[in-house]
C-alpha cells in the first residue's frame, strides 16, 4: 500500500472507491447506487469547474470567514518549556467549528442538483448546526438526525439548529449516539433520495461523501500553509500537526496540503478518544487495533465483536464518539504517513484546564484531546519544533459537561 | 440437483399463484421460538427468508430493527443461525431457505467459511443488502460454485443500463424493491406502477423469477399477485412484537397472519 505524490488523497481511490485496495468503497443498498453515482458525476465535474471553485471561495471568505487565526500560545509554550505551541483557531469559523466547510459545499451541490431538502447527521451537534446554517443561507429545508443521548448532552447546538429552522429528529435506536444518527439519516435518504440531498457530517460513509468532506475541510490546511510561510518564511523544518480524530474530517483537512512533505519534516499526529480511564469502551479504533469491517457503507477499522456487530463506544466528547474512522485515516495509518494515539476523557479535561488557564482560547472537548497529547509530547521536543494544534471547535457547546466535571469556574 | 428455490417457484406457478416468501429474524424472540415459528409457517410458505440480525441495519425500518435488536439482545450469534437452519432442515428437508443480512457479518466470518457453513446447514440462497452489483460479482460467483443462489436486488432507482447488466449476472431469482423506502414502509406507490416496473424486469429476461418486497402486508398483497413471488417481512416482525406485548403466543399469531396472506393470493 502506497501513498502517491502529486495526486490529492481523495482522488487516490480505485474505480470502486477503495483506498489502498481495501478501505472505503460503496457498501450500500441498491436504491442508493443511482443517487450516489449522480452525486459523484456532479462533484467530479464541479471540483474542476473554476466558476464553482470561485463561488466556494467567495462563501468561505465572506460567509465562513477565512482565514481563521493562526496564533502562538506563548504562555502555554513558556509553561511547558519545550516546543513552540501554536494553534490554528478553526473555531473562529462562522458557527464555531470546521463542520461549516463540508456543510457549505453540500448545500452548494444540493442547489446545483435541484434538490430542495437536505438531511444530515450529527453527534456533537456541530455538523447539524452548520448544516442548518448553510441550508438557511441557501434556502434549503433541513432535517437533522441526532441521537437522544447527544441531544441531552449538547443542548446549545440543538437550540441553534432549531433557531435556524431545521427539524431535529431524535434517534432512539441502538446506543442513541452518532453511529445511530448516521444510520437513521441514511435510512431517510434511502426512502427519499429522489427529492432529498444527504450530507454526511464527516469523512465517512460511501466513498463520494468521504471525498466531498475531505475536499471541503482542506480549506484549513490551505490557509495554514500560507500562514506558516507568512510567519516563518517557509514551511518549518520541524513541524508537527496535532488533531483530534473522530470521523476524521478536521484532521484530514488540517493535513491535506502537507501530504507530500516528508514526514520527518511534517509529522501528522491524530488523537482518538480513549474514553473514560476506567472504562474498556473507547472510540479509538486505530489506536487499539480494531479489525476492518463495514460501517455506514465503507470498509474501515471499526470497533466490533467477532460476529461483526458494531460495538458501543464511550467518550466524553460527542464529536469523537464514533466506532469507526474515515477510510482516509485507515489509509494514512497503513501507509504510515500519520501516527495515531488516544487521550482519555480525564486527559482531555486536564488539557482543557491547562489551555484555558494560560490562554484566551476555549477549545471544545474534541480538540482538548489533541491538546492533551500535544502538550505531553511538546515537553520533550526542541525549541525549534513548531507544534500546531487544530482548535477545531469552541467549548460553548460543552458548558454543561464542563460545569459538571470541572465546576463552575471553568464554564 | 436443482436448487429447491427453483422448484418452489415451479410449484407455485403450477398452482397459478405467486410464491409466498416470509422474512423472520433468526433468534427473534429467542433461538427456540424462531425455529418454532419457521416450522409452523413452513406449511403455508414457499420460501423462507431468515434474517441475520445486525445492529447497524441501514436499510431496515423500525419493525425489523426491533426484531434484530431483540434477537441480538437475546444472544444470537452467526453459528446459532446456522444451527437453526440445520435443525429446521432436519424437520423439513426440501423447504428452501434464504439467509438475508448485511455484508459485515459475512466478511467477519470469512466468505469461504460462511459459504461452507451455508452448504452444510442447508441454506439455498443469500441476500446481502449492502453488497450491490458490481461489488458483489466475486462473491456471487463463489455462491454459484456452491450451488447457492446469490439473489440480486433491483430498485426503482436502478437505471435501465444497470438493470440489464445485473439481470445478466443474476442467478435464477431476483428481488425487486417495490419503492424508495426502508423495509416496513407504507406502500406509497400504486400497485400498477410497481407492476409496470416489474414488467420491465421480466421483459429483459422472462426466465428469471422476480419477487417483489417492501411494503407488502395483508392489505396490499392481493394487488400484486401477478408477480412470481411476494415477500412479507415487517408485517410478520410486527406481529411478533405485538404478541410479546400482549403476552400472547407469537408462534400461533404469526401462523395466522401467514395463513391469511396465503389465502389472499390463492
DSSP string covering B10-35 = HHHHHTTSPEEEEEEETTSS-HHHHH
- pTM of the predicted model as reported, rounded to 2 decimal places: 0.97
Distances (CA, A) of B74 to A24, B58, B67: 32, 21, 11
Which of A69, A126, A81, A78 minimizes the C-alpha distance to A389?
Answer: A69
446506543: which residue's cell? A175
Tally C-beta pairs within 8 A across A and B: 116
The answer to whether A108 and A75 have CB atoms below 8 angstroms apart is: no
Return all residues near B207 (Cβ < 8 A) that are at least 6 apart.
B172
Interface probe with A: pick from B114, B138, B157, most Cβ of A within 10 Å = B157
Identify the pLDDT of residue A174.
82
Which of B125, B132, B214, B234 minimizes the C-alpha distance to B173?
Answer: B125
Q: Region A403-408: what's the mean pLDDT?
A: 94
pLDDT digits (tens, 9 = 90+) for B198-229: 999 999 999 999 999 999 999 999 999 999 99
Q: Which CATH number covers residue B152?
A: 3.20.20.70
Of B36, B46, B49, B239, which is the active-site residue? B49
CA atoms within 13 A on the CB side of A129: 23
Total Cβ atoms within 10 A of residue B222: 13
Mean pLDDT across chain A: 96
Identify the pLDDT of residue A337.
98
Identify the pLDDT of residue A175.
83
| Residues of chain B contacting A307 with CB distance shorter than 8 Å | 77-78, 105, 108-109
Domain A65-96+217-410 has CATH 3.40.50.1100: yes
Q: Do B77 and A307 touch (CB under 8 A)?
A: yes
Q: Region A175-201: what's the mean pLDDT?
A: 94
Q: Do B155 and A186 touch (CB under 8 A)?
A: no
pLDDT digits (tens, 9 = 90+) for B77-124: 999 999 999 999 999 999 999 999 999 999 999 999 999 999 999 999
User: Considering only alpha carbons, which residue of chain A is nearest residue B68?
Assistant: A174
Q: Do B134 and A174 touch (CB under 8 A)?
A: no
CA–CA min distance A168, chain B (Å): 18
CA–CA min distance B66, chain A (Å): 9
Q: Do A187 and B105 touch (CB under 8 A)?
A: no
pLDDT digits (tens, 9 = 90+) for B48-74: 999 999 999 999 999 999 999 999 999
pLDDT digits (tens, 9 = 90+) for A267-295: 999 999 999 999 999 999 999 999 999 99
* Topology of domain A19-59+98-214, CATH: Rossmann fold (3.40.50)
**Beta strands at A141-147 and A386-390: parallel, antiparallel or unpaired:** unpaired
- Grid coordinates representing B185 are 414502509
Identify the pLDDT of residue A411.
80
Distance from the first to the final alpha carbon of chain B: 29
The answer to whether A145 and A119 have CB atoms below 8 angstroms apart is: yes
Query: What domain count does chain B have?
Result: 1
Q: With bands split at pLDDT 50, 70 and 90, how would you rate the model's confidence at A182? A: very high
Q: With bands split at pLDDT 50, 70 and 90, how would you rate the model's confidence at A410? A: confident
Do A65-96+217-410 and A19-59+98-214 fall under one CATH topology?
A: yes
pLDDT digits (tens, 9 = 90+) for A119-147: 999 988 999 999 999 999 999 999 999 99
| Residues of chain A contacting B104 with CB distance shorter than 8 Å | 293-295, 304, 308, 310
Interface probe with B: pick from A23, A29, A182, most Cβ of B within 10 Å = A29
Q: Do B56 and A194 touch (CB under 8 A)?
A: no
Percent of chain A with pLDDT over 70: 100
Q: Do A34 and B157 touch (CB under 8 A)?
A: yes
pLDDT over threshold 70, residue B1: no
**DSSP letters along A340-376, please?**
EEEEEHHHHHHHHHHHHHHSS--B-HHHHHHHHHHHH
Per CB distance under 8 Å, which residues of B are interface residues toward A?
54-62, 65, 69, 72, 77-78, 102-109, 129-135, 153-159, 162, 177, 180-182, 185
C-alpha span between A397 and A155 (Å, rounded): 7
**DSSP letters along A167-197, please?**
EEEEE-STTSSHHHHHHHHHHHHHHHTTTEE
Return all residues near A22 (Cβ < 8 A) that are at least 6 apart.
A292, A299
**Positive or negative: CA dihedral A190, A193, A194, A195:** positive
Q: With bands split at pLDDT 50, 70 and 90, how would you rate the model's confidence at A118? A: very high
C-alpha span between A151 and A124 (Å, rounded): 9
Indicate the SS3 state at residue A40.
helix
CA–CA min distance B43, chain A (Å): 31
C-alpha span between A253 and A219 (Å, rounded): 7
pLDDT digits (tens, 9 = 90+) for A147-174: 999 999 899 999 999 999 999 999 998 8
Mean pLDDT across chain B: 97
Identify the pLDDT of residue A409.
87
Pure H helices in A284-344: 327-334
C-alpha span between A339 and A262 (Å, rounded): 14
Return all residues near B208 (Cβ < 8 A) that are at least 6 apart.
B167, B170, B172, B173, B174, B201, B202
C-alpha span between A163 and A149 (Å, rounded): 20
**DSSP letters along B131-174, please?**
--TTTTHHHHHHHHHTT-EE-EEE-TT--HHHHHHHHHH--SEE
The count of residues in chain A is: 411
Distance from the first to the final alpha carbon of chain A: 46
| Residues of chain A contacting B107 with CB distance shorter than 8 Å | 292-294, 308
User: Considering only alpha carbons, which residue of chain A is nearest residue B77?
Assistant: A307
Q: Is B49 a catalytic residue?
A: yes
User: Considering only alpha carbons, which residue of chain A is nearest residue B187?
Assistant: A191
pLDDT digits (tens, 9 = 90+) for A336-390: 999 999 999 999 999 999 999 999 999 999 999 999 999 999 999 999 999 999 9
CA atoms within 13 A on the CB side of A317: 37
Domain ranges in chain A are 19-59+98-214, 65-96+217-410
Pure H helices in chain B: 4-14, 31-41, 62-73, 78-91, 103-109, 111-121, 137-145, 160-169, 191-204, 234-245, 250-265
pLDDT over threshold 90, residue A203: yes
Amino acid at each position: 500500500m502506497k501513498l502517491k505524490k502529486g495526486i490529492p488523497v481523495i482522488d487516490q481511490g480505485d474505480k470502486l472507491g477503495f483506498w489502498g485496495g481495501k478501505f472505503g468503497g460503496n457498501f450500500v443498498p441498491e436504491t442508493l447506487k443511482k443517487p450516489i453515482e449522480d452525486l459523484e458525476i456532479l462533484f467530479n465535474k464541479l471540483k474542476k469547474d473554476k466558476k464553482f471553485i470561485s463561488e466556494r471561495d467567495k462563501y468561505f471568505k465572506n460567509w465562513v470567514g477565512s482565514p481563521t487565526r493562526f496564533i502562538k500560545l506563548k504562555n502555554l509554550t513558556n509553561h511547558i518549556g519545550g516546543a513552540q505551541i501554536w494553534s490554528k483557531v478553526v473555531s473562529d469559523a462562522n458557527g464555531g467549528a470546521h463542520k461549516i466547510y463540508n456543510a457549505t459545499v453540500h448545500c452548494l451541490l444540493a442547489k446545483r442538483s435541484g434538490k430542495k431538502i437536505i438531511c444530515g447527521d450529527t453527534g456533537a451537534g456541530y455538523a447539524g448546526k452548520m448544516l442548518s446554517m448553510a441550508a438557511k443561507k441557501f434556502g434549503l429545508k433541513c432535517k437533522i438526525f441526532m441521537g437522544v443521548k447527544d441531544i441531552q448532552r449538547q443542548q446549545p447546538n440543538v437550540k441553534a439548529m432549531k433557531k435556524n429552522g431545521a427539524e431535529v429528529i431524535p434517534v432512539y435506536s441502538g446506543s442513541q449516539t452518532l453511529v445511530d444518527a448516521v444510520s437513521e439519516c441514511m435510512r431517510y435518504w434511502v426512502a427519499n433520495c429522489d427529492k432529498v440531498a444527504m450530507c454526511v457530517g464527516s469523512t465517512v460513509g460511501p466513498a463520494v461523501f468521504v471525498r466531498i468532506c475531505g475536499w471541503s475541510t482542506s480549506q484549513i490546511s490551505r490557509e495554514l500553509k500560507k500562514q506558516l510561510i507568512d510567519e516563518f518564511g517557509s514551511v518549518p523544518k520541524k513541524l508537527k500537526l496535532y488533531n483530534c480524530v473522530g470521523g476524521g474530517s478536521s484532521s484530514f483537512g488540517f493535513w491535506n496540503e502537507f501530504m507530500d512533505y516528508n514526514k520527518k519534516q511534517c509529522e501528522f499526529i491524530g488523537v482518538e478518544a480513549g474514553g473514560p480511564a476506567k472504562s474498556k469502551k473507547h472510540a479509538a479504533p486505530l489506536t487499539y487495533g480494531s479489525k476492518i469491517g463495514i460501517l455506514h457503507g465503507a470498509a474501515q477499522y471499526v470497533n466490533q465483536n467477532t460476529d461483526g456487530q458494531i460495538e458501543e463506544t464511550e467518550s466524553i466528547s460527542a464529536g469523537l464518539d464514533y466506532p469507526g474512522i474515515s477510510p482516509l485515516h485507515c489509509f494514512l495509518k497503513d501507509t504510515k504517513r500519520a501516527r495515531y494515539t488516544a487521550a482519555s476523557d480525564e486527559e482531555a479535561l486536564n488539557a482543557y484546564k491547562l489551555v484555558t488557564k494560560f490562554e484566551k482560547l476555549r477549545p471544545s472537548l474534541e480538540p482538548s484531546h489533541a491538546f492533551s497529547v500535544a502538550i505531553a509530547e511538546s515537553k520533550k521536543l526542541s525549541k525549534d519544533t513548531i507544534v500546531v494544534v487544530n482548535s477545531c471547535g469552541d467549548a460553548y457547546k460543552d458548558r454543561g459537561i464542563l460545569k459538571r466535571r470541572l465546576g463552575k469556574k471553568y464554564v | 440437483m436443482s436448487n429447491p428455490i427453483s422448484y418452489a417457484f415451479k410449484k407455485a406457478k403450477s398452482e397459478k399463484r405467486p410464491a409466498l416468501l416470509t422474512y423472520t429474524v433468526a433468534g427473534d424472540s429467542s433461538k427456540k421460538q424462531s425455529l418454532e415459528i419457521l416450522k409452523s409457517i413452513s406449511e403455508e410458505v414457499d420460501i423462507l427468508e431468515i434474517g441475520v440480525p445486525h445492529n447497524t441495519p441501514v436499510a431496515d425500518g423500525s419493525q425489523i430493527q426491533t426484531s434484530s435488536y431483540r434477537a441480538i439482545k437475546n444472544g444470537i450469534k452467526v453459528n446459532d443461525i446456522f444451527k437453526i437452519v440445520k435443525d429446521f432442515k432436519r424437520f423439513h428437508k426440501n423447504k428452501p431457505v434464504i439467509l438475508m443480512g448485511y455484508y459485515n457479518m459475512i466478511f467477519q466470518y470469512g466468505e469461504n467459511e460462511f459459504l461452507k457453513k451455508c452448504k452444510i446447514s442447508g441454506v439455498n440462497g443469500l441476500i446481502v443488502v449492502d453488497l450491490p452489483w458490481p461489488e458483489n460479482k466475486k462473491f456471487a460467483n463463489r455462491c454459484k460454485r456452491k450451488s447457492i443462489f446469490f439473489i440480486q436486488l433491483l430498485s426503482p432507482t436502478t437505471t435501465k443500463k444497470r438493470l440489464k447488466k445485473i439481470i445478466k449476472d443474476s442467478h435464477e431469482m431476483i428481488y425487486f424493491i417495490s419503492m424508495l423506502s426502508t423495509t416496513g414502509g407504507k406502500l406509497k406507490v400504486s400497485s400498477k406502477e410497481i407492476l409496470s416496473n416489474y414488467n420491465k424486469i421480466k421483459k429483459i429476461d422472462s426466465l428469471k423469477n422476480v419477487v417483489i418486497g417492501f411494503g407488502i402486508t395483508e392489505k396490499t398483497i392481493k394487488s400484486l399477485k401477478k408477480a412470481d413471488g411476494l415477500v412479507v417481512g415487517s408485517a410478520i416482525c410486527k406481529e411478533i412484537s405485538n404478541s410479546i406485548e400482549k403476552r400472547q403466543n407469537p408462534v400461533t399469531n404469526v401462523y395466522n397472519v401467514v395463513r391469511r396472506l396465503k389465502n389472499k393470493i390463492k
